[in-house]
């Protein structure tokens, strides 16, 4: 299991090496998840983040955005549904990559 605290401390190294980029990233992130910006409510944005985190397989993002989604008003069932939507899309991607495998065989015949 990943330990967010044990590894997050290395963010200081990234900040030191690329301070302007890190600052820009955090400004962007803050704007995206500010409850007073955008048309989507915060719970919806956090549920989208959960789904994306599942597909990108970022354990820290999954933990953080699942908690933030619930704090913003999403239910445990909402988070589970976001996870399943993400899983379906990831599985669908696997199937379509299978098409590539079958095409490569057909092209090689």
CATH number at residue 75: 1.20.1290.10
Query: Do 19 and 56 sit in the same domain of this protein?
Result: no
pLDDT-based confidence at 7, cuts 50/70/90?
confident
Residue 86 has a pLDDT of 97
Cα 38 to its chain centre, rounded Å, is 18
Residue 90 has a pLDDT of 93
- What pTM did the predictor assign? 0.83
Query: Do 75 and 23 sit in the same domain of this protein?
Result: no
Q: Are 74 and 46 in contact (CB under 8 A)?
A: yes
Query: Do 27 and 47 sit in the same domain of this protein?
Result: no
CA distance 6 to 12: 12
Query: Do 100 and 51 sit in the same domain of this protein?
Result: yes
| Distances from the Cα of 63 to the Cα of 18, 47, 59, 67, angstroms | 26, 12, 6, 6
Q: How many domains does the chain have?
A: 2
Residue 2 has a pLDDT of 54
Query: Do 46 and 98 sit in the same domain of this protein?
Result: yes
CA distance 55 to 53: 5
CA distance 73 to 44: 9
Other Cβ atoms less than 10 A from the Cβ of 43: the count is 19
Query: Do 62 and 103 sit in the same domain of this protein?
Result: yes
pLDDT-based confidence at 22, cuts 50/70/90?
very high
Residue 109 has a pLDDT of 78
State pLDDT tens for residues 59-101: 999 999 999 999 999 999 999 999 999 999 999 999 999 999 9
Owning domain of residue 21? 1-32
């Amino acid at each position: 299991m990943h330990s967010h605290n044990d590894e997050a401390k290395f963010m200081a190294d990234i900040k030191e090496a690329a301070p302007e980029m890190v600052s820009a990233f955090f400004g962007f992130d803050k704007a995206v998840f500010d409850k007073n910006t955008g048309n989507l409510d915060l719970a919806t944005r956090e549920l989208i983040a959960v789904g994306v985190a599942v597909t990108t397989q970022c354990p820290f993002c999954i933990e953080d955005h699942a908690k933030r989604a619930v704090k913003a008003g999403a239910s445990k069932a909402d988070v589970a549904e976001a996870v399943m939507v993400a899983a379906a899309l990831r599985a669908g991607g696997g199937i379509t990559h299978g098409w590539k495998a079958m095409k490569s065989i057909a092209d090689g015949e």
